[in-house]
Each structure stands twice: as structure tokens, then as C-alpha cells.
Amino acid sequence: MIEASYCASKGAVTSLTRQVALDYAKHRIHVNAICPGYTRTAIFEDTTAHMTPLEVLEERHPFGGPGVPSDIAKMAVVLASEDASWVTGVNLPVDGGYTAR
């Protein structure tokens, strides 16, 4: 049942992001969510062997494997900058195209 609760929580974040963005838009407060894909972190390295083997992930992934933490951080910087002044209510996948396949 971990899969069902995980999916429900992701759906809740998506809906919450959109609603809070609408609630605070009149104050020009931006609300967005970064939805990271497979990212090489300590927890990724610890759990990959139990989940999807890295070789399988590399075969399935459009960019050939997981990203690195700086890939996610760069998007956070963009969303916090003036370059994103007209962006709110977005659930932004930062996953190297994994969810697009």
C-alpha cells in the first residue's frame, strides 16, 4: 500500500500548489512546486539496489540516468528569481524527461 499513499500525497501536493497559488496571487506571491525525478543523493544510492537497478534506470531514462542535486537547485534559483515573475501554480518536473516518456 505504500504506492497508493505515495501517489495520493503527490496528487495532494499538485492540488495544494495550484490552490495556494490562486489564494495568494492577489498579493503577487508565487507558489510553485519542484517535482524532482531520480537524483543522485545518498538516499538514492542506498535504495537503488532494492528498487530499480541503476542499469535498468539508465536504459529507461531519456537522458541516460539520474540527475544530480545541482540540477534541482538551479531550477529553485530560477523560480526564486525575477525571471519567473510571471510563473505561479506550476508543478515543474525536473527529471530529465523521465515523466514525458
Q: Which residues are catalytic?
A: 6
3-state SS track over 54-83:
HHHHHHHCCCCCCECHHHHHHHHHHHHCHH
33 has which bridge partners? Answer: 91
| Three-point CA angle 95, 98, 101, nearest 5° | 150
Which residue, chain included where needed, has cell 532494492? 50
Q: Cα–Cα distance between 65 and 53 in angstroms, integer?
A: 11
